[in-house]
Structure formats: structure tokens, C-alpha cells
Amino acid sequence: MATEIERKFLVKGDSWRKLAAGTVYRQGYIATQKTATVRVRIVGNQGYLTIKGPSVKYSRAEFEYTIPIEDAQEMLDTLCDRPLIEKIRYKVEWDNLIWEIDEFDGVNKGLILAEVELTDEKQHIELPDWIDKEVSDDPKYFNSNLVKHPFSQW
């Protein structure tokens, strides 16, 4: 079983923008329950199907599979809740870790979050100067919840 250990933060300022180019992501959710989340995503020319278990602190089970882009597009068009999540993801290397900065578009425009995957929940991390408040424990910032309660409606 794969385990994702991730912390999430709000981002401040624009200094991070010069550190990486962005990639467009489109994703939707087929199912969001307390026990599992099923996500479909298109990144560039590749489709992905991801199943995640419930979060326990910073960790959760995660299973991700590549799927044909045509299948991913069909699932986004016909099976996923609306609105879809639209964002540009920037990957920034900082202190030997990869930070993924998501700049949301559509109904979540204005929200910018940074996530960092860790190997251990107690792993020490140096926070870049563009990191603001930690929101790892706040479910309103989960992408699956941004479908139900978009940032523009807060």
C-alpha cells in the first residue's frame, strides 16, 4: 500500500513564481466520502485515476494509476462533480524537498496553496519565505472540498 504524507500551506507574495514554470491541471471527483476519495486528473497529455483513503494527521493511503487521456476526459465530462478543479501547478525544489504550488483558477481563483510530501510525519522542514499559515488540518482546503465549497464563496 502506498502512503502519502503531506503538509499544506497558504502562500504569500510572488517570489516563488521565478523558481518554476507551471503545468495546467484539470481534475474532478467521482466520489468523496469519509472513507475514500476517487479523483480523475489530466496533466498535460496524461490521465490519472487516484483513490485516497481518509486522512490521519498528515498521512493517508493513496493509489494512483495512469489511464488513457481519452478515458480521463470522458470521466471528467460525464462522471465528475462540478465544478472541476482548474489550477496551474509549479514544482519548486527547496531544501532537498519538492514543493508543489497550486494557483487555482475558475471558481477557486485567488487561492494559492503549497504542498510538500514527506517521508515521515515528524520530518523537519525548513519553510521557504513565501510560505504562510499551515492549513494541513483544515478540510476546507482539500481539493475535494473546494468542489463543494469553492474559494469564491467563502
pLDDT in tens, 94-130: 999 999 999 999 999 999 999 999 999 999 999 999 9
Please state the pTM of the whole predicted model: 0.93
Q: Does residue 29 have an active-site annotation?
A: yes
Tally of domains in the chain = 1
Range of the domain at 135: 3-153
pLDDT in tens, 74-92: 999 999 999 999 999 999 9
User: What pLDDT shows up at residue 114?
Assistant: 98
User: What pLDDT shows up at residue 1?
Assistant: 60
Mean pLDDT rounded to a whole number for the chain: 96
On the CB side of 142, CA atoms within 13 Å amount to 17
User: What pLDDT shows up at residue 134?
Assistant: 98
Please compute the mean of the pLDDT values over residues 135-145 and round it to a whole number: 95
Q: Return the CATH number at 117.
A: 2.40.320.10
> Virtual CA dihedral for 108, 135, 126, 87, nearest 10 degrees?
-20
| Catalytic position from the list 25, 29, 58, 90 | 29
